[in-house]
C-alpha cells in the first residue's frame, strides 16, 4: 500500500473489513500464503461458491438443518438475499483491489450499498408476506 495516507487507503481498508466480517477470516490467516490473499480468496469464489466462504458462525440463524452428508444447509436464504450477500462481497473485492485506481469511490460504495439494502428489505417484506 505505501506509507502515504489517502482516501484510497481508507477505501482499501473498508473493503478488507467487509471481507473479514463476512468470511470470518483475517488477512493474516495461515490460509493466505505468499501467492494468495483474502482479496483473491473471495474474488475467486464469487459468485458461484459464495456459500463456501461465508462465516458459518455469523449466519448460524439462517442455517436450518444439516444435510445428509453433514454439510450445513442454508435453507432460509432467499435468492434475493443471496444476491445481496454476493453484492456486498463484490464491493469488498472492488474496494480492496491492489491498484488504487481500480478501487470504487466511497460515493460508488454508498450507491451500491443503498441498492443492496433496498433489495434486501424488499426480500424481507416478501418472506414475511407484507
Tens-digit pLDDT profile for residues 87-124 = 999 999 999 999 999 999 999 999 999 999 999 888 66
Domain 7-128, classified CATH 1.10.510.10, yes or no: yes
The larger pLDDT score, comparing residue 47 to residue 77, is at 47
User: Per DSSP, what are the bridge partners of residue 66?
Assistant: 72
User: Residue 8: is its pLDDT beyond 80?
Assistant: no
Q: Reduce the DSSP state of residue 122 to 3 states and report it.
A: helix
Asked whether the beta carbons of 88 and 116 are under 8 A apart, the reply is yes
Every domain of the chain and the residues it spans: 7-128
- What number is the average pLDDT over the span 52-59? 84
Helix, strand, coil share (%) of the chain residues, nearest 5: 60, 5, 40
Angle, alpha carbons 104-105-108 (nearest 5°): 80
Q: Quick check: bond before 102 cis, omega within 30?
A: no
User: Residue 1: is its pLDDT beyond 70?
Assistant: no
User: Residue 82: is its pLDDT beyond 90?
Assistant: no
Helix ranges restricted to H, 26-105: 38-45, 50-53, 79-95
Amino acid at each position: 500500500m505505501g506509507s502515504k495516507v489517502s482516501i484510497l487507503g481508507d477505501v482499501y481498508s473498508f473493503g478488507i473489513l467487509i471481507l473479514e466480517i463476512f468470511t470470518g477470516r483475517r488477512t493474516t490467516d495461515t490460509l493466505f500464503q505468499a501467492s494468495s490473499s483474502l482479496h483473491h480468496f473471495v474474488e475467486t469464489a464469487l459468485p458461484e461458491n459464495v456459500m463456501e466462504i461465508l462465516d458459518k458462525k455469523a449466519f448460524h440463524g439462517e442455517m436450518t438443518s444439516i444435510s445428509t452428508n453433514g454439510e450445513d444447509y442454508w435453507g432460509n436464504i432467499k435468492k434475493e438475499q443471496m444476491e445481496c450477500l454476493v453484492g456486498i462481497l463484490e464491493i469488498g473485492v472492488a474496494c480492496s483491489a491492489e491498484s488504487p485506481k481500480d478501487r470504487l469511490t466511497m460515493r460508488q460504495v454508498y450507491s451500491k450499498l443503498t441498492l443492496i439494502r433496498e433489495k434486501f428489505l424488499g426480500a424481507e417484506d416478501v418472506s414475511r408476506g407484507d
